[in-house]
Amino acid sequence: MKRIIALLAVLLLLTLETVPAQAKKEKATPTPVPLEISREVAEPPEVIHNMLEIAYREWDELHGKTLKKSNKYTKWRNNYTWEWCAGFVTWCMLEAQVPQEEQKTILSWEDGPVTGILHCKAAAPARLLEAYSHMHRTTMIPQKGYIILYGEEYNKTVHVGIVYDVRKLEDGRYRLTTIEGNMGNSVRMYMFDYDADKEFSYKNKYPDNSNVSAIPEEEQTEETTKYKTYSIHVKSKNKKKPWYVTCFLAPWLPEESAD
């Protein structure tokens, strides 16, 4: 009898060890692996080039003037009054007549690569990331006219801007010029270096290493102003760790443009 009880006990333990493993739900589908595109700097399609000219014109004409949270760049989305960095990006795309679809429309499509020039008509960084990820249009390689997505601490969607210019350096590095809305309640231009091959991991609250850095002073050739700067984004005056580039969102692909 004791042997029977012992055998039943062993069988019960084995059952308890295997059932939870079988009952575990499948893991959620991960964000698509960043798209591998040409590392060479390519010229964008005409409609994207026009969008860049519009972004530059807005930066130049605004000349550092501060705006209210409800402004010309928010009217297209019911004149909303919250942060407008993504609103500025989409406004420039709309003005240039870049083909675009609403986020809910894009998410209704089958998950997978989408061809052609296309932007998500959205006014929030997280919505842009979700839509571009669904289209498999995220990458760590910058190109002119791409959307740069910044992260801070665990927030991977803290801010977005437009990549206005790209210069390829050595060892996987690029010198970027960006035009970004809602910086100091204005539109500003930033110039900095980005390392596409720099890996960083999350520990505590911050990544160990950022993939952006300031251009060395001896290589800074342009005069700067309040609205045109070599400074890199930092969390605050008391915390000097810079933001990092989460990824770039690609409204166009250089391989398709070359065809």
* Structural domain contains residue 98: yes
* pTM for the whole structure: 0.85
- The total number of structural domains in the chain stands at 1
Q: Which amino acid is at 222?
A: E
* Structural domain contains residue 27: no
pLDDT given at position 163: 98
Q: What range defines the domain where residue 92 resides?
A: 43-258
Distance CA 34, CA 208 (A): 21
* Structural domain contains residue 36: no
* Structural domain contains residue 33: no
Strand partners, 163: 178
For each of the chain's 259 residues, which pLDDT tens digit applies? Answer: 545 555 445 444 444 333 333 333 333 444 567 788 878 999 999 999 999 999 999 999 999 999 999 999 999 999 888 899 999 999 999 999 999 999 999 999 999 999 999 999 999 999 999 999 999 999 999 999 999 999 988 888 999 999 999 999 999 999 999 999 999 999 999 999 999 988 654 444 455 678 999 999 999 999 999 899 999 998 777 777 789 999 999 999 998 877 6
* Structural domain contains residue 1: no
* Structural domain contains residue 8: no
pLDDT given at position 259: 63
Residues 197, 130, 125, 98, Cα dihedral to 10°: 90
* Structural domain contains residue 31: no
Residues 157, 162, 167, 173, Cα dihedral to 10°: 0
Strand partners, 155: 152
Contact 139/231 with Cβ under 8 angstroms? Answer: no
Long-range contacts of the stretch 212-220 (C-beta < 8 A, 24+) = 212/242, 212/243, 212/244, 212/245, 213/242, 215/175, 215/191, 220/191
> Which residues make Cβ contacts (< 8 Å) with residue 108, sequence separation at least 6?
none
Distances (CA, A) of 185 to 67, 85, 93, 160, 227: 5, 10, 20, 14, 11
* Structural domain contains residue 38: no
DSSP state of 200: -
Cβ burial of 18 (10 Å; 0-12, 13-18, 19+) is exposed
